[in-house]
Amino acid sequence: MSNPLVSIIMGSDSDLPVMEAAAEMLKEFKVPFEITVVSAHRTPDRLVEFSKEAHKRGVKVIIAGAGGAAHLPGMVASISPLPVIGVPVKSSNSIDGWDSILSILQMPGGIPVATVALNGAKNAGILAAEILSVGDDELQQRLINYKEDLKNAVLEKAKKVESRN
């Protein structure tokens, strides 16, 4: 996609089934994004180059997902001036998911990573859109509509549950 505002990166293509949910939300909100693999441990030079260059290419928010010893979001945040949203992935090398969560969540002071729930790529996509919507009224309206739809869906379910009695 040309001129991406959000960059979705992940440690391995095995993270893609989880990370696709972020891409789906960005498509829904019509936010241009790119998606690729950057491994902290297997391609450290690529990580450094990506992190130094992303903001110069016009990217505004980075979503980074990884599993196990999940150093990708934190290392990107240590180099890039952009907000980084971290997605802990329950991967093949993750014991129970807590390793991924804590590796991404427990950042030292000065280097924030906005960490979403385990496999929470959907919320990462929404959060990235919300960050961008601060300067984009049309995008903000799409987010307002989305939340209205969520509310209506719950009210519909409430009616169904209530009508069972």
Backbone angles phi, psi at 68, to 5 degrees: 70, -125
Residue among 117, 108, 22 at smallest CA distance from 63: 22
Q: Which residues pair with 36 in a beta bridge?
A: 9
Q: What is the closest distance, in whole angstroms, from the C-beta atom of residue 92 to ligand RP5 in the complex?
A: 5
Q: Which structure tokens are listed for 119? A: 């496999």
Rank residues 19 and 132 by Cβ distance to ligand RP5 and give the closer one: 19
Rank residues 104 and 132 by Cβ distance to ligand RP5 and give the closer one: 104
Determine the size of the site formed for ligand RP5 (CB under 6 A). Answer: 13
Sole residue written with tokens 């996509």: 125
Contact with ligand RP5 (CB under 6 A) among 92, 138, 162, 163: 92
Residue 15 lies near ligand RP5 (rule: CB under 6 A): yes
Rank residues 29 and 50 by Cβ distance to ligand RP5 and give the closer one: 50
Binding-site ranges for ligand RP5 (CB under 6 A): 10-12, 14-15, 39, 66-68, 89, 91-93
